[in-house]
Structure 1
Amino acid sequence: MKRVLSVLALAAASAAIALPAGAAPNDPTYRAVASGALESPPNASPGSSLVTIDLNGKQMLVDMPFRDLDGTTTAAHVHCCTSSAFTGTAPVAVPFQDFPLGVTAGTYSNAIALGDEAFYDPAFVKAHGGTVQGAASALVDGIDANEAYVNIHTSAYPNGEIRGWLVAAPVPETAEWAMLAVGLAGLMWMSRRRPAV
């Protein structure tokens, strides 16, 4: 029973990961768990990152802690759009400006204006009609279709040390939290009523 309660508590804690600063609860939120195993080709890097991106239609709020990289950081960005969900490689869409360079661990947080051409890779804008509106639309559509990923490049892995696919991460509604609380209370009540063995 204790194991069941531990698993449920862990699930609740995972669902309660904070949104990036400035994000509203109803904005579309995406997460990526980046690792070397998801690179193309895969590598044995112990590095990891849990990336949270919130899209509110006007900006992309990024919160990206990372750690345990084999090499020091040289660049990070969002790639978009692959030809199929969760497979392949894609060109750089949004370089992360002011990303901490020359480190093996850190945090990157930024608000990227979707309507500002300066935040996009010029080739990405050109490939999507030559307008920032076309680039923004392609980026959002690619993220929604699971055809975009976040990548951190390092001195040890110039083509990318860790990457993670961006997937929708809906924020639980109040009713869902209430059902979880009732379920946990019921499990605790049932565990107290069981006869000792």
Structure 2
Amino acid sequence: FKATLDGSQQSPPVTTKGKGTATFTFDTAKKKLSWNVKYSGLSGPATAAHIHGPAAKGENADPVIPFKKLKSPIKGSATLTDTQVTDLEAGKYYVNIHTAANKDGEIRGQIEKAAAAM
């Protein structure tokens, strides 16, 4: 799974130089989601970062998985429930990084399945 983060995906969109990328690995046997989120160019330090859902692109939802560490790169993992696995695989989760200037989120990216390696 992967996500590309920018201000245009926020709802409503945010004008920012901030951008980022997120890569995820999912262990289906253990239902463990691991992430590596890199970002730069935000208006100020990140004040919060989460995986939100379930929501389609352009829709907003509550945080479901908070990130404990906020400094780039944000690395961590969580064990998902069956419902969360279904939402993740359906593309209904997004990553959001918040700043003091943009309390609702400065950059956002929908989590999508990465193309399978050949």
Query: What is the deviation of 1:111?
Result: 2.5
In the TM superposition, structure 1's runs of 4+ consecutive aligned residues that sit over 3 Å from their partners are none
Alignment of 1:6-155 (within 5 A): 30-57=1-28, 58=30, 59-82=32-55, 85-100=56-71, 106-114=72-80, 136-155=81-100
Structure 2, unaligned stretches of length 5 or more?
none
CA contact (8 A) 1:71 1:157 kept: no
Match of 2:112 in 1: 167
CA contact (8 A) 1:73 1:154 kept: yes
CA contact (8 A) 2:18 2:41 kept: yes
* Relative contact order higher in (CA < 8 Å, ≥ 6 apart): 2
> Could you give the per-residue CA deviations for residues 26-64 of structure 1, whole angstroms, max 9, x where no partner exists?
xxxx11000001001101111111101111122111011
Higher fraction of strand: 2
Q: CA RMSD in A?
A: 1.3
Q: Which TM-score applies when normalising by structure 2?
A: 0.91
Query: Aligned partners of 1:172 and 1:113: how far apart in 2?
Result: 24
Partner SS, residue 70 of structure 1: coil
Query: Aligned partners of 1:94 and 1:50: how far apart in 2?
Result: 17
Alignment of 1:181-196 (within 5 A): none
Q: How many residues align?
A: 116
